[in-house]
Amino acid sequence: MSVLSRGDRVALVSPAGPALAPVLAEGVAVLRSWGLTVTTPVVQPWSLPYLAGSDAGRAAEFVDAWCSDVAAVFCVRGGYGCLRMTDLVPWEELPPRVFVGSSDVTVLHAELNAAGQPTVFGPMPGTRDFVADPLAQQRLRRFLFEGMSSWTAGTPVVPGTARGVLVGGNVALLAAAVGGPRWSVPAAGAIALLEDVGEEAYRLDRLLTQLLRAGWFAPVSGIVLGSWTGCGDVSAVLADRLGPLGVPVLGEFGFGHCPGQWTLPLGVEAVLDASAGTLTLV
């Protein structure tokens, strides 16, 4: 799956928190070293410092960048804020673009996937997880430029195989989106990619329980677990909440908030072989 070429124009946007200028400058330099022409975001001062501008301003920046002459849109970082601006974006009217982001950006992935657009869950150029991690950079670049259709990693938790559309991302954001105006459970047979950061076991329990009660896991045919950085030992919680689903589970797959994170697609069909530790695009 190769989606970008040298010389392509890409836009950076700030749908959540503001990136530190020196970190973002390093990230832009990396993207330019890949041969990309990069348009950077304009951060407007806002009364809430954890947001990179007003909700309307961030939504407008997102739409304007998306509808400009670019091949891809990269989110500079997560943090918090995507959920506040998602209802201000005309998702069904957006033309096809490559979209890269993770963490808080999970809710934007869900909106784009629901509108029929595949997306890319990977490291963001305004974060240390990108600029200070050459392996994560390499894996993102390989996915975007050279194409990548299969991954072998992780540890089998529940053996078995599943085939379905890849969905998910950050558990806290999946739970936060429950009840939104366009919220829905995944399509039948979906394979869920799950990760989180800084959530202690009892809080992760609460988030997963919320998704279970909302029926989010009902159509899921397989699960791939990423990183749980800063969460402590959550193996018992994951087994307790996800084990009864009776679907194949592959753990420690290495995407999310972790060194050398894999870049993975969402909104596309794949086959999970939890026994062999493989995820393969159809």
Residue 234 pLDDT greater than 70, yes or no: yes
Q: Beta 222-229 vs 249-251: how paired, if at all?
A: parallel
Q: Is residue 260 one of the residues assigned to a domain?
A: yes
User: Is 195 designated active site?
Assistant: yes
- Number of neighbours of residue 280 by Cβ within 10 angstroms: 14
- Structure confidence at residue 2 (pLDDT): 59
Q: Domain ends where: 90, 119, 146?
A: 146
Q: Is residue 269 one of the residues assigned to a domain?
A: yes
CATH code: domain of residue 242: 3.50.30.60
Q: Is residue 1 one of the residues assigned to a domain?
A: no
- Structure confidence at residue 20 (pLDDT): 94
Do residue 122 and residue 87 come from a single domain?
yes
Lowest mean pLDDT among 38-52, 91-105, 188-202: 38-52
Do residue 162 and residue 214 come from a single domain?
yes
Check if the beta carbon of residue 262 is closer than 8 Å to that of residue 153: yes
User: Is 103 designated active site?
Assistant: yes
CATH code: domain of residue 21: 3.40.50.10740
What are the pLDDT digits (tens) for 148-198? 999 999 999 999 999 999 999 999 999 999 999 989 999 999 999 999 999
Among 225, 276, 221, which Cα is nearest to 245's?
221
Q: Domain ends where: 108, 127, 146?
A: 146
173: exposed, middle or buried (Cβ count in 10 Å: 0-12, 13-18, 19+):
buried
Instruction: Quote the mean pLDDT of the chain.
Output: 96
Do residue 38 and residue 106 come from a single domain?
yes
- Structure confidence at residue 3 (pLDDT): 86
Check if the beta carbon of residue 123 is closer than 8 Å to that of residue 137: yes
Do residue 204 and residue 140 come from a single domain?
no
- Structure confidence at residue 44 (pLDDT): 76
- Structure confidence at residue 1 (pLDDT): 54
Out of 195, 199, 221, 227, the active site residue is 195
Confidence of residue 39 (pLDDT cuts 50, 70, 90): very high
Collapsed DSSP state (helix, strand, coil) of residue 79: coil
pTM, two decimals, is 0.96
User: Is 257 designated active site?
Assistant: yes
Q: Side by side, which strands form the sheet with 98-101?
A: 37-39, 9-13, 72-75, 98-101, 119-121, 264-266
Out of 14, 61, 102, 257, the active site residue is 257
Do residue 87 and residue 177 come from a single domain?
no
Check if the beta carbon of residue 237 is closer than 8 Å to that of residue 205: yes
Do residue 169 and residue 239 come from a single domain?
yes
Q: Is residue 86 one of the residues assigned to a domain?
A: yes
Q: Domain ends where: 117, 146, 175?
A: 146
Tell me how many domains the chain contains. Answer: 2
Q: Is residue 3 one of the residues assigned to a domain?
A: no
Do residue 36 and residue 65 come from a single domain?
yes
Do residue 86 and residue 133 come from a single domain?
yes
Out of 102, 103, 221, 227, the active site residue is 103
Do residue 158 and residue 238 come from a single domain?
yes
Please tell me which residue, 41 or 92, carries the higher pLDDT value: 92
Q: Is residue 4 one of the residues assigned to a domain?
A: no
The mean per-residue pLDDT over the stretch 262-275 comes to 98
Domain around 117? 9-146
Q: Is residue 124 one of the residues assigned to a domain?
A: yes
- Structure confidence at residue 41 (pLDDT): 85
Do residue 123 and residue 181 come from a single domain?
no
Q: Is residue 31 one of the residues assigned to a domain?
A: yes
Do residue 103 and residue 192 come from a single domain?
no
Do residue 120 and residue 177 come from a single domain?
no
